[in-house]
Amino acid sequence: MRISSILGTAMVLGMAGCSAPQVKPEAAADTGPTSFPSSYTDWVRLNQVPLMVEGSRSARNLYANPTALSREGANAPFPLGSILVKEERTLVVDAQGQARPGDIFRVSVMFKVGQGQTSGWAFKAFDPATRREMPRDKVDPDGCYFCHADVASQDYVFTRVGR
């Protein structure tokens, strides 16, 4: 079970703003509520056009499930069961030098599980072809948390979600 090893190393660095109760991370099994969210493209997309920041190597679409959207307000903590998706696509540059989104190479997901050592969120990256979690030598889930910790005051979410 991958999640327990993620949580083990993440804790060593002790992030500020860790407020979630820390009980039984093993309850968040891969087969349970943190498996690949197959219906995410039916959810609300948070961005109008694919996010393609100059210099970045991907185009991104963000999705939120209904539970995440039911958040009390823009600064409220996300309710248990919230799921946010960052669908990451390659960038294809055409003959005119215009970049457009290509194939999906990774589906990065945040699951609000309310426990564990990454402030109540489980961070996972899935291979879109197999829908299985990507191996740690390809993507390091600890890195997810450390980058998202920049927005700990927004419950670790960069994008505005909810009312």
Residue closer to ligand HEC, measured from CB, 108 or 119: 108
- Residues 115-154, interacting with ligand HEC (CB under 6 A): 123-125, 139, 141, 143-144, 147-148
Binding status of residue 68 toward ligand HEC by CB under 6 A: no
Residue closer to ligand HEC, measured from CB, 2 or 22: 2
Angstrom distance (rounded) from CA 41 to CA 45? 8
CB of 95: closest distance to ligand HEC in angstroms? 27
Q: Report the sign of the C-alpha dihedral through residues 64, 71, 142, 133, in that order.
A: negative
Is the distance from CB of 123 to CB of 141 less than 8 angstroms? yes
User: Shortest CA distance to 99 belongs to which of 60, 52, 62?
Assistant: 52
Distances (CA, A) of 163 to 37, 74, 107, 160: 23, 6, 25, 9
Q: Helices 2-12 and 141-148 meet at what angle, rounded to 10?
A: 50
Residue closer to ligand HEC, measured from CB, 70 or 159: 159
Among 71, 86, 89, 112, binds ligand HEC (CB under 6 A): 86
Binding status of residue 28 toward ligand HEC by CB under 6 A: no
Angstrom distance (rounded) from CA 78 to CA 138? 28
Residue closer to ligand HEC, measured from CB, 54 or 95: 54
Q: Which residues bind ligand HEC (CB under 6 A)?
A: 51, 60, 62, 84-86, 108-110, 123-125, 139, 141, 143-144, 147-148, 157-159
